[in-house]
Amino acid sequence: MSSDNNHHRNSPSQYFQHSLELIAGELSTATGASPTLGQLLKHVGDTRKEATGDETPVHEVLVDVTEPRPIPFVLSFNNLTYSVKVPRKMTLPGFFRRRGGSAAADAAIVDNPLARDSYFTRTKTLLNDISGEARDGEILAVLGASGSGKSTLIDALANRIAKGSLKGNITLNGEALESRMLKVISAYVMQDDLLFPMLTVEETLMFAAEFRLPRTLSKSKKKMRVQALIDQLGLRNAAKTVIGDEGHRGVSGGERRRVSIGIDIIHDPIILFLDEPTSGLDSTSAFMVVKVLQRIAQSGSSVVMSVHQPSYRILGLLDRLIFLSRGQTVYSGSPKTLPLYFSEFGYPIPENENKTEFALDLIRELEGSFGGTKSLVEFNKSWQSMKHTRDTEPDRVGLSLKEAISASISRGKLVPGATNDVNSTSMVPTFANPFWKEMVVLSNRSILNLRRMPELFGIRLAAVLVTGFILATVFWQLDNSPKGVQERLGFFAFAMSTTYYTCADALPVFLQERYIFMRETAYNAYRRLSYVISNALVTLPGLILLSFAFSMTTFWAVGLDGGLSGFLFYFLIMFASFWSGSSFVTFLSGVVPHVMLGYTIVVAVLAYFLLFSGFFINRDRIPGYWIWFHYLSLVKYPYEAVLQNEFENPAKCFVRGIQIFDNSPLGAVPPAMKVRLLQSLSNTLGMRITSSTCMTTGLDILKQEGITDLSKWNCLLITVAWGFLFRILFYFSLLLGSKNKRS
């Protein structure tokens, strides 16, 4: 047996390939199909269900995870150091004058950028020379008090710190880990549960499967993967329950956390990072979460997580521990050697006391002492240098990165789109699915969310109908008199600005999805461009309905001109206005992270657009230093378009005969006097002017309003183009503003 083992160690890849062929052959014979991850899982289920006898059906254990085998993956990190600059706390009048400093020295500081930077800021070290490793099949837990650097270390390992800011090296199987490769073979579970509240557990995981699993996998196999994962997470009884939020009853806190883990492990990642997955949970729920993580590790993954203060039961599930104190390592090793470590340090752990609680209390006590934890840090270094450990398990031979990934895929790991060709220069693609597939899945998810919350669109439609009804009744059947012209101008200005203001409700839509979007795109679940296009496509049907409702409510009631063709153009310009307004608000939601701040900016900017639209002041009268804003105004183009649609008929007259006096002081004189005045004016001008003579046509009104440079169709096209421009800007705001990395 020993000779066999020696042979295996000498040829790890051959041994692994031989084992994989035997396992695959047995599974194929037993099931008639390729093995799925669900078949490799151990007994699963909820502790509560085991206690009550209501167990989730378990999968047969087909691989003995305790059998010694070469470790496919070893994630090593050495001498990780990360510092940030924080402003110094300063009080006046010492803001510019140091104690005991001269005015000349202070002036030198102000003149020297480097000196000024160091004077007003200080460097805070969040990680200081941290080293360790995480192995396949094990859970590495990072412990420490608040502010010790737990989350920072997880972010560093998960490549969530900008390149250049982090010193040290991180390798996988001895090879430097590229960002592109890490995104595909790993997953990061945030501390907050970022989920869509109106989707069920099963739907949430199914959408994750559509994003992360390759399209070469059939729909039925994706469903099988989701069902296996539901069983693995112990969520069978909650599969059809919505996630829920403050206003909708849903799953429990522990179940939400397991769903959050599930959506990130749907593609069966090789490395799983978690930031305090037990935070905010009761002891039973926390134990269940870590129990699930243990099963994930045993299925062939490396699990690295931070945890604040694990219970005794949770400690029994952990394989390796790293204790941090103010960014420094004070212990690194197995939980089993923790008592020996502190005993040799001079602080033996009492028999009946929780090891981690004792360790954390001691670390806090040392942090408050004069020397801090320096003595414990130095003792840990000497402990590590002497390799003083009772873990007598011999080191097992690892594989190269390409061999390990190939072997992992052969074992059934669902790395999206991966290939067994270890000689390939690009073993894994950046995204699991093509562009069009991502758009379809994103659109389906958005439509499902909208269907579950019809009140959102219903309120918006009601607001448009109420506004249209009020405008229709106020401006009912306007005549063709000079006053009717002024009333038409007022109606158009208010109607156009209303379409933009009613688009403001699109602001919180992306703000609510922002962190879900950032989590999903951080590990390449889909392209940002796919999200932008699907977001635009999903909004179009609603905008069409809103435009049609407003047009039907107002066009004939107000008595606008143009007949059917006029109505169609009126509908088109309304739709273009809703489209550009919605795109503008969507762009702002990508730039402004807060709802109230976003509303403030939207209201202010739209007010400026209306001011420079040409209604309050003609283009010819706008000062030259503000004329640029007139052309940037979103309201300008639809406003000019509807005016041209209304007044473009040269045969239609709006001022006849004595109506010429209506907008002057002579408007109050009796009609007979107006007729005599008109006759006198006619004689003076040498032309015949009667009470029926047309004095002002629609074209004259357009000239008076300064609408002469663009046709109505050009205005329509420009309005639509504004919408596309803001969608493009929205894309770049997502591209630049969702890096999801520390600086």
Res 413: pLDDT: 66
415 closest CA partner among 523, 306, 257: 523
Helical segments of 412-481, H only: 435-452, 454-474
Q: How confident is the model at residue 320 (pLDDT cuts 50, 70, 90)?
A: very high
Q: Which of 411-415, 479-483, 688-692 has the highest mean pLDDT?
A: 479-483
Res 504: pLDDT: 86
- pLDDT tens for 201-210 read 999 999 999 9
* 3-class secondary structure, 502: helix
DSSP string, 128-157: EEEEEEEETT-EEEEE-STTSSHHHHHHHH
Give Cβ neighbours of residue 381 (< 8 Å, ≥ 6 apart).
none
Q: Which of 4-13, 262-271, 538-547, 690-699 has the lowest mean pLDDT?
A: 4-13
pTM of the model: 0.78
CA–CA dist 721, 717 (Å, integer): 6
* Exposure string for 41-80, b = 16+ CB within 10 A, e = fewer: beebbbeebeeeeeebeebeeebeeeeebbbbbbbbbeeb
- pLDDT tens for 416-444 read 544 444 444 445 567 888 899 999 999 99
CA–CA dist 217, 85 (Å, integer): 47
Q: Name the one residue in this structure whose structure tokens are 């650097």.
A: 149
Res 717: pLDDT: 97
- pLDDT tens for 364-393 read 998 888 888 889 999 988 888 875 444 444
CA–CA dist 685, 693 (Å, integer): 14
Contact predicate 503/586, CB 8 Å: no
Percent of the chain with pLDDT over 70: 81
Q: How confident is the model at residue 322 (pLDDT cuts 50, 70, 90)?
A: very high
Res 732: pLDDT: 94
Higher local confidence (pLDDT), 142 or 368 = 142
CA–CA dist 314, 134 (Å, integer): 18
CA–CA dist 363, 322 (Å, integer): 13
* 3-class secondary structure, 329: strand
- pLDDT tens for 580-631 read 999 999 999 989 888 889 889 999 999 999 999 988 988 888 999 999 999 9
Q: What is the mean pLDDT of residues 20-41?
A: 39
CA–CA dist 170, 159 (Å, integer): 9
Residue type, 99: R
Q: How confident is the model at residue 354 (pLDDT cuts 50, 70, 90)?
A: confident
Res 740: pLDDT: 64
Q: Which of 18-22, 164-168, 451-455 has the highest mean pLDDT?
A: 451-455
Domains of the chain with bracketed CATH: 75-84+122-369 (3.40.50.300), 435-741 (no CATH)
Residue 282 DSSP label: -
The H-or-E segment that residue 529 falls in is helix 528-558
Contact predicate 322/140, CB 8 Å: yes
CA–CA dist 323, 338 (Å, integer): 11
Res 630: pLDDT: 92
Angle 298-304-309 (CA atoms, 0-180°, nearest 5)?
105
For residue 99, pLDDT over 60 is answered with no
Angle 219-224-226 (CA atoms, 0-180°, nearest 5)?
95
HSE value, Cβ hemisphere, 13 Å, CA-based, for 444: 13
Q: How does the average pLDDT of the chain come out, rounded?
A: 80
Q: What is the mean pLDDT of residues 206-217?
A: 87
What the block records as the tokens of 291 is: 């129990």
For residue 28, pLDDT over 70 is answered with no
Angle 36-37-40 (CA atoms, 0-180°, nearest 5)?
105
Q: Which of 185-194, 206-215, 470-479 has the highest mean pLDDT?
A: 470-479
Q: What is the mean pLDDT of residues 632-650?
A: 92
Q: What is the mean pLDDT of residues 286-294?
A: 91
What the block records as the tokens of 22 is: 């035997």
CA–CA dist 314, 641 (Å, integer): 68
**How many other CB atoms sit within 10 Å of the CB of residue 302?**
27
Q: What is the mean pLDDT of residues 167-174?
A: 88
* Exposure string for 720-734, b = 16+ CB within 10 A, e = fewer: bebbeebbebbbebb
Res 580: pLDDT: 96
For residue 17, pLDDT over 50 is answered with no
Q: How far, CA to CA in Å, does 53 sit from each of 47, 99, 288?
A: 10, 72, 16
Res 186: pLDDT: 86
Percent of the chain with pLDDT over 90: 34
For residue 493, pLDDT over 70 is answered with yes
